[in-house]
């Protein structure tokens, strides 16, 4: 049976309360991706670049 990651994490969290919920897991993964993208623009103090965040 194939389950989505969100549903899987929700099911696991019901058993192991210390685990994040599916929504929390996706939010953490999104924030990690954003932080990595920012890190690629600014590598040291003499670097410069533009970081533009867009939302609906």
Residues 6+ apart with CB under 8 A from 29: none
Q: How many domains does the chain have?
A: 1
pLDDT for res 2: 60
pLDDT tens digits along 2-55: 668 878 888 888 898 888 888 888 888 889 999 998 888 888 888 888 888 888
pLDDT for res 32: 93
Quote the CA–CA distance of 26 and 32 in Å, as a whole number: 10
Domain that residue 10 falls in? 1-56
Backbone angles phi, psi at 20, to 5 degrees: -75, 155
Residue 1 pLDDT grade (very low, low, confident, very high; cuts 50, 70, 90) = low
pLDDT for res 49: 87
The three-state secondary structure class of 17 is coil
């Amino acid at each position: 049976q194939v389950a989505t990651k969100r549903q899987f994490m929700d099911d696991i969290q019901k058993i192991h309360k210390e685990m994040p919920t599916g929504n929390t897991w996706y939010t953490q993964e999104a924030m990690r991706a954003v932080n990595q993208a920012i890190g690629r623009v600014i590598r040291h103090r003499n670097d410069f670049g533009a970081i533009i965040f867009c939302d609906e």
